[in-house]
Structure 1
Amino acid sequence: MAPKPPIHPDSPELARLAEEGRVVAYFGYGSLVNPRTLRTKFLAIRRAEAKGWQRFWQPRDPAAEMALLSVHPHAAESIHGVVVYDLADHLPSVDEREAGYNRQVIDPDALTIEDAPLPGVPVYIYEASPGASDAAEMGSAILQSYLDAVMQGFRDLYGDDGLKRFVERTEGFETRLLRDRSAPRYPRSVPLEAGEAELFDSLVDARGAHAIELS
């Protein structure tokens, strides 16, 4: 099997900045898998798998009534995504993007990184805040524009099989889906390639999502 192409060229400054202790890394399992949504100038990005975690849909906060992806520990599961290597100075911006989530270090033994460029760098993951309910119970809706960005990222990284794995192994798709593709509410929405809208909709419909139109 031919090796997968790199996601993005590494910064030529990566090694020097790491030696200076100015590099951090974090595991992306939702919109972060799509480099088009990243707003900081990251240093490197790699495909990765984290064992012992389950991905699921949960409300962002009670006022927003919108569901975003999160994770919780699950010994029998694993999640695919990316590890992003970034400047330590950018970490507060990432924390702000992931408001309502707890940042913690992944056990290195549970993490597999494709062609890891920096051995020994701790990798963070953003976990759902304790006590959060699932999206279906809270009556929250998944933003189609957000889901499009996530699914496009997984398809680009892992192909159609990886995209299907993401949909099949993420809990909570049996909830409402707000069709906002024509007028995106997600601030980092992405344009879709030909055929992607139909593919994404067919996979999500098969999981039992209940579509509602944008009002």
Structure 2
Amino acid sequence: MDGPWFFGYGSLVNRATHTYAEAHPASISGWRRAWRHVEGREVAFLTAVPAPEDQIDGLMARVPGGDWSALDMREHAYARVMATGVAHALGGQPEIHIYHAPDDMHRPATTMRPVLLSYIDVVVQGFLREFGEGGVQRFFDTTDGWDAPVLNDRDAPRYPRHQCLTDEETALVDRHLALKGVNP
């Protein structure tokens, strides 16, 4: 359990978006997700927001060689903080961090800074693979900001780590978005 580790709760749950080989399903108490934007980013993204009564699923992964530089670059719009309340099957109490945008850094998504459908696709695909359809439902239930504008960029994905989805995965994403009243 030598560390450090990080807790990913969005695109990092999709193993196809990274090369962190030592990764394990986990959950963290005291957080929810929200679609937000920060200055310097053209589109909205997921951030974790403190929520004492909530718990979210995610993926816990070891930081290779304890070198945060590559991960900090990928997560440059976030602050990295120590995480508590992480439940995992590995045993021990490793040093775990979580990236999030503090309240004073983020704003709700806007038409000028929408959520990319290709980003949602990647996240949902990851949750489906790690946690099954129940995990996908929990993802939608523990994420706020579904009233944000969503840009349908599936034909020309703008999300840099976009993935190809099967027809079944695409239908699953679309079904859950429709239940949230989202029609990209």
Find the aligned partners of 2:66 and 2:21 in 1 and give their Cα distance: 12
Instruction: Please report how far the alpha carbon of residue 180 of structure 1 lies from its aligned counterpart in structure 2 after TM superposition.
Output: 0.8
Unaligned runs of at least 5 residues, structure 1: 1-14
Instruction: Give the percent of matched residue pairs that are identical in Structure 1 and Structure 2.
Output: 32
1:106-145, aligned counterparts within 5 Å? 106-107=83-84, 110-113=85-88, 115-116=89-90, 119-131=92-104, 132-136=106-110, 140-145=113-118
Bigger relative contact order, structure 1 or 2 (CA pairs below 8 A, ≥6 apart):
2
Tell me, yes or no, if the aligned pair for 1:56 and 1:70 is still in contact at 8 Å. yes
For residue 192 of structure 1, what is the aligned residue in structure 2?
Answer: 165
Instruction: Please report how far the alpha carbon of residue 203 of structure 1 lies from its aligned counterpart in structure 2 after TM superposition.
Output: 0.7
Instruction: Please report how far the alpha carbon of residue 208 of structure 1 lies from its aligned counterpart in structure 2 after TM superposition.
Output: 2.0
Find the aligned partners of 2:146 and 2:116 in 1 and give their Cα distance: 12
- Pick closer, same or farther for the CA change 1:95–1:63 going to 2, 3 Å: closer
Find the aligned partners of 2:40 and 2:82 in 1 and give their Cα distance: 29
1:41-60, aligned counterparts within 5 Å? 42-59=20-37
For residue 71 of structure 2, what is the aligned residue in structure 1?
Answer: 94
Larger Rg: 1
- Pick closer, same or farther for the CA change 1:63–1:104 going to 2, 3 Å: closer
Q: Which amino acid aligns with 1:111?
A: V
Instruction: Please report how far the alpha carbon of residue 164 of structure 1 lies from its aligned counterpart in structure 2 after TM superposition.
Output: 1.2
For residue 9 of structure 1, what is the aligned residue in structure 2?
Answer: none
Aligned length: 183
For residue 37 of structure 1, what is the aligned residue in structure 2?
Answer: 17
Tell me, yes or no, if the aligned pair for 2:177 and 2:183 is still in contact at 8 Å. no
For residue 124 of structure 2, what is the aligned residue in structure 1?
Answer: 151
Find the aligned partners of 1:46 and 1:185 in 2 and give their Cα distance: 28
- Alignment RMSD, CA only? 1.8
Instruction: Please report how far the alpha carbon of residue 86 of structure 1 lies from its aligned counterpart in structure 2 after TM superposition.
Output: 2.4
Match of 1:80 among 48, 57, 75: 57
4+ residue stretches of structure 1 with deviation over 4 A?
Answer: none
User: TM-score, normalization: structure 1?
Assistant: 0.79
1:27 aligns with 2:7: yes
